[in-house]
Amino acid sequence: MGTLDGRVVIVTGAGSGIGRGIAHHAAREGASVVVAEVNAENGASSEKEMRDAGGTATFVNTDVADDSSVDAMVERTLETYGHIDGLVNNAGVDLEGETTAFNTETWRRVIDINLAGVFFCARACLPTLRQKGGVIVNIASVHATHGFAGAAAYDASKGGIVSMTRSLAIENGPHGVRVNAICPGYVDTPIWEHHLAQQPNPERLERLTREHHPLRRRGTPKDIAQAARFLLSDEASWITGTSLVVDGGMGAQFYEQSFEL
């Protein structure tokens, strides 16, 4: 028996990285998982992998920055499974750069995907979640509480997620809906590898990211997936409106050196 048996869980950005890890862990715990993913190849691959492992999964091509796409994804979920028990808002982009060189289009893309996408998905799922109680888990970041040079848009979007989490928890608690956030440290994902490849001194950044985690390693998607599974389950039935930091101790120490852009 899994801790999520019989539950329907939507995971956005479930085609790769943290989202894929969360989706696959939820499926192993008995959930029927909706892979809400904008990249069709990644989404279909994630769905197939879960099904091949004996899980239940459905890929729905979804652009979280487009409210009509989100609404269609939720409608498809209800047509397929009849109800929704959990939503994991994971989809996001990490686009960084020095502020004076950061163009408006890129700013809007970060905010539209990372922040507006969380709002659109929550808004679309809440009417169903309120019917019998449910859970929303928002994936934020240590960037929500710590400032990093060159990351104004990303930091703003992740800080906004944490603030939105509190508001949604207060608003929906009386309806039996719990809303929490997870703030990961640096996790080995395709986004991280892409970010690392763009750096002028990737070897130094690689070393620094390990040193800035007292546990001396970056996280894995499984580390975040296990935290998400806990918040989705009844084990967290009296937890709402909070942010669970899963960062290998990164936020517990003073940064004597700053990361390079």
Closest CA to 115 of 162, 78, 148: 162
Instruction: Please compute the mean of the pLDDT values over residues 93-104 and round it to a whole number.
Output: 94
Q: What is the pLDDT of residues 212-253, one digit of tens each?
A: 788 888 899 999 999 999 999 999 999 999 999 999 998 887
Told to judge if 154 belongs to the known catalytic residues of this protein, a careful annotator would answer yes
Pick the catalytic residue: 81, 154, 186, 255?
Answer: 154
Tell me the CATH number for domain 8-246: 3.40.50.720
Predicted confidence (pLDDT) per residue in 31-51, tens digit? 999 999 999 999 999 999 999
Q: How many H helices and E strands in the chain?
A: 9, 7
Instruction: Find residue 136's DSSP bridge partners.
Output: 87, 179
Mean of pLDDT over the chain? 93
pLDDT (mean) for 106-114? 98
**Residue 15: is its pLDDT beyond 90?**
yes
pLDDT digits (tens, 9 = 90+) for 162-198: 999 999 999 999 999 999 999 999 898 877 676 666 7
* Burial class of residue 258 in the structure, from the number of CB atoms within 10 Å of its CB (0-12 exposed, 13-18 middle, 19+ buried): exposed
**Domain-by-domain residue ranges, the chain?**
8-246
CA distances from 92 to 63, 182, 208, 230 (A): 11, 14, 24, 22
pLDDT tier at 208, thresholds 50, 70, 90: low
